[in-house]
Amino acid sequence: MLNIILLGPPGAGKGTQAARLQAERGMVQLSTGDMLRESVASGTPIGLKVKGIMERGELVSDAIVSALIGERLDAAADEGAIFDGFPRTRAQAEALDLLLTERGRHLDYVIELAVDEDELVRRIVGRFSCAKCGTGYHETFRPTKVEGVCDVCGSTEFKRRKDDNEETVRTRMAEYRAKTQPILPYYEAKGLVRRVDGMGPIDRVGAEIDAILDGAA
Ligand code: AP5
């Protein structure tokens, strides 16, 4: 059972690769972004608190996201977990260590997806997802097979994230550089970091990640 972190700036492909690993390996994708968006959509007290923060592209408090991960971690006990978008600060990294230790688990890899900033903006501005089943697409890099029809569930309704505009993306990247990138040395000191070139096509990035998980890289 592997526990891995996918670390990278907005649009690096964390969600795409986490969903693939969940489908192909039965690991459980734990995305704090998805959890927070669910809270916003259902109007919970946490959702009301974080809505504006997310729309501005700033980070939500460490306490909120660490609690969300803690609630879901046990569901990923047997199959292994993919932490997608968490941790994003040193305090979150330490909280995750504690949550795993308390359960007799540990991190196996921190996979850093490296992508250049102009490519990230292109990816995010072209992103959309199925309104019914949530499958993610991109206008250029991952279009639906039949235009306007979801490949997975056949729905013809799609949605875009409110924070997927160029201005907010720049804030999200600045947050990443200021608060998330600095946690890499914390994991480097533990020998857990593996770098993957996130600029290649989705399948090639996936193959590089698989090689790491299978112990071949
Ligand atoms: P979150 O939902 O985590 O967003 P993010 O980190 O900004 O990452 P994205 O989901 O935008 O990108 P991704 O790396 O998953 O890329 P994707 O695979 O979709 O967080 C949103 C907000 O929630 C934050 O701003 C913050 O406010 C809050 N939040 C969340 N977690 C938090 C935490 N821990 N602490 C505090 N606040 C938190 O790919 C992007 C597009 O590119 C897709 O269309 C995809 O099809 C395409 N694509 C993917 N890979 C490739 C490839 N190799 N080649 C070409 N296209 C590709």
Q: In angstroms, what is the span from residue 1 Cα to ligand 1's centroid?
A: 25
Distance of CA 44 to the CA centre of its chain: 22
Confidence of residue 216 (pLDDT cuts 50, 70, 90): low
- Alpha carbon distances (Å) from 1 to 4, 22, 25, 92, 105: 10, 13, 10, 22, 9
Beta bridge partners of 136: 129
3-state secondary structure of 43: coil
User: Ligand 1 within 6 A of 138 CB?
Assistant: yes
Q: In angstroms, what is the span from residue 120 Cα to ligand 1's centroid?
A: 10
pLDDT-wise least confident of 50-54, 84-88, 122-126:
122-126
Give the per-residue pLDDT at 166. Answer: 86
Provide mean pLDDT across the span 109-134: 93
**pLDDT above 70 covers what percent of the chain?**
99
Provide mean pLDDT across the span 8-36: 95
Residues with Cβ within 8 Å of 8's Cβ and at least 6 positions away in sequence, in order, are 14, 112, 113, 114, 115, 198
Report, as residue numbers or ranges, the catalytic residues.
14, 88, 127, 161, 172
CA of 50, closest atom in ligand 1: 27
Confidence of residue 19 (pLDDT cuts 50, 70, 90): very high
Confidence of residue 74 (pLDDT cuts 50, 70, 90): confident
* pTM of the complete model: 0.93
More confident residue, 148 or 75: 148
Q: Per-residue pLDDT for 112 more than 80?
A: yes
Confidence of residue 7 (pLDDT cuts 50, 70, 90): very high
Beta bridge partners of 111: 6, 194
